Structure 1
Amino acid sequence: MRLHIQNETDSLKAVVLGTAKSSGPIPDPDEAYDPKSLEHILAGTYPKEDDMIKEMEAFAAVFEKYDITVFRPEVLKDCNQIFSRDIAFVIEDKLFHANILPDREREFVAIHEVLEKIDPSKVIRPPEEVHIEGGDVMPWNEYIFIGTYTGEDYADFITARTNKEAVEYIREQFPHKKIKSFELRKSNTNAKENALHLDCCFQPIGKGKAILHKNGFLIEEEYQWLVDYFGKENIFEITKDEMYRMFSNVFSISPDIVVSEQNFTRLNYWLREQGFIVEEIPYAEIAKQEGLLRCSTLPLIRE
């Protein structure tokens, strides 16, 4: 398989979609990786496996409709494998193995069906000091956008997933690209004040449009750069509550087809007004884990 990813919106040909099967018991509060999951664990509203399986199968059906090759991970017992974007990401023809939490390492091994089809020299493991997850990395033609957190208190935040070493590492790997990093707002306790990944507060869609949430960015000038780059008239600005509900975490199948959550009424109306075909599916249960459609996918080939 020849990997090929230049941006977020070219026509999708092959993708890894995570799985909710055997996702394990409800975590203990001290096992939560993010404040939104913690909130639902404590409230007794953490999503049920059967509901999450149904949601992911609805996503798979959309891929089938558009004749996209879909790979699923090998199902591991009592392991949450929904968010395949966390474990790896593709830029150009290289697949990067994310340095994630050690207890998630086996999630990467579980996509062996895909790894066996790729030239081993194209599967890259960054050095140990490089912390990076796919939700923070967005190839966008001549740019690579990266969400990061570089504060001295980085180690205090379980929600700080991509560090400054990662930004420099990607810059070294792609000297011909412009690397643009964005400092994200982090909170271990308040999901409405936490941009877990860049795709929780920003995503480019179509040809030159974007979904954006100002408060997700720690530095206003960096937010403003995106507004200037895309143009205010091309941006759908989401509220704090809409960010919390993951409005920016939709998924592009092509420049004119977007998969979105069925309850994102305001966004879906705007998308259709802009000429997009919107494939609406239920995904509100999975959203309780601070991840949505983009988080569940690992695109391999776009043309």
Structure 2
Amino acid sequence: MLKLNIKNETSRLRAVVLGTAISNGPTPGIEEAYDPKSLEHIKAGTYPIEEDMVKEMEAVAKVFQKYDVKVYRPELIRDYNQIFARDIAFVIDDIFIKANILPDREKELDAIQYVIDQIDPDKVVRPPEEVHIEGGDVMLWNDHIFIGTYKGSDYSDYITARTNMEGVNYIKELFPNKIVKEFDLVKSRIEPRDNALHLDCCFQPVGKNKGIIYKSGFREESDYMYLVDLFGKENLFHITREEMYHMNSNIFSISEDVVISERNFTRLNAWLRANGFTVEEVPYAEISKQEGLLRCSTMPLIRD
């Protein structure tokens, strides 16, 4: 049996699901794009090709191997995008929560059924239908759970609005002893530089008390200030609009002092090293063209 345990974003990782780019399928058509960044690259003819994305994910798998992390990969669905494991489910404490994702992504859950089969069935939950929640919007910080959402009345018009207030309330009920705080995110269907697809596109904790943040990703300044007050301004690395577009807040922690980061994130990686982190740099620029990076393609199962 898998004894799940996830209390935060940075404790020592022991087991993880890492997506796969094998048999990723043809470049989607314009009408099939789920996010503005993919759309931009489809239109420009720069959408990533499978071979490059497979190499990028293998680089991450090698880092996990180096740190002795147990890695599960999804079973293969032919011609299908299975990169973003974080969207389909996530773990809080010892509970495995299936996300109610876009309906045509349901089979991605089937592809990790062999992992779910190793978890105590009482610890696997599926929210009711009206609850929308995706792993990229759910961030654990010990007694806190941060959740990205979109409170605009036009929620249903936005395919980029992935977690609703029903999702937030569902987590509040499931974990009554935690401080659940939602953040209203800026969304755009057309401009990826102004679209926080998930909370991890504009914020992520690192180490014991630090974080990476993009102020303009939050619709309300008070939400941004909540994190500044909690972490302390001096502990937050503020990224620019362009850095947010390249997904600098979407790195991934193996432990409190080891992070996997994209090799082009020069300013961020320098800051991390200056703050005592070991930075394992990998190439991930092709995958980032789909508006997802390292955190999006991983689903942690066990941390110490």
Paired residue for 1:11?
12
SS of residue paired to 2:237: strand
Q: How does 1:1-303 map to 2 (within 5 A)?
A: 1-303=2-304
Structure 1 letter corresponding to 2:56: E
Distance in 2 between residues matched to 1:103 and 1:34, nearest whole Å = 15
| CA positional deviation for 1:112 | 1.6
Aligned length: 303
Structure 1 letter corresponding to 2:185: L
Report Cα offsets for 1:135-183 as digits up to 9, x if no partner.
0001110000000002110001110000000010000000000001000
Structure 2 letter corresponding to 1:123: V
| CA positional deviation for 1:249 | 0.1
| CA positional deviation for 1:113 | 2.0
Distance in 1 between residues matched to 2:110 and 2:133, nearest whole Å = 17
SS of residue paired to 1:224: helix
Report Cα offsets for 1:158-215 as digits up to 9, x if no partner.
1000000001000000000000100000000000000000000000000100000001
SS of residue paired to 1:294: coil
Structure 2 letter corresponding to 1:60: A
- Alignment gaps of 5+ in structure 1: none
- Alignment gaps of 5+ in structure 2: none
Distance in 2 between residues matched to 1:262 and 1:237, nearest whole Å = 18
SS of residue paired to 1:295: coil
Which stretch shifts more, 201-210 or 108-117?
108-117
Report Cα offsets for 1:84-137 as digits up to 9, x if no partner.
000000000011000001110000010022111101111110000000000000
SS of residue paired to 1:176: coil
Structure 1 letter corresponding to 2:146: F
Report Cα offsets for 1:2-55 as digits up to 9, x if no partner.
100000000000000000000100000010000000000000000000000000
Distance in 2 between residues matched to 1:116 and 1:173, nearest whole Å = 22
Query: Please, what TM-score do these two structures have when normalized by structure 2?
Result: 0.99
Distance in 2 between residues matched to 1:148 and 1:257, nearest whole Å = 29
Structure 1 letter corresponding to 2:200: D
Distance in 1 between residues matched to 2:112 and 2:232, nearest whole Å = 38
Distance in 1 between residues matched to 2:288 and 2:140, nearest whole Å = 24
Distance in 2 between residues matched to 1:201 and 1:293, nearest whole Å = 14
Distance in 1 between residues matched to 2:88 and 2:276, nearest whole Å = 33
Query: Please, what TM-score do these two structures have when normalized by structure 1?
Result: 1.00
Distance in 1 between residues matched to 2:222 and 2:289, nearest whole Å = 30
Identity across the alignment (%): 67
Q: Which runs of 4+ in 1 moved over 2 A?
A: none
Distance in 2 between residues matched to 1:166 and 1:209, nearest whole Å = 26
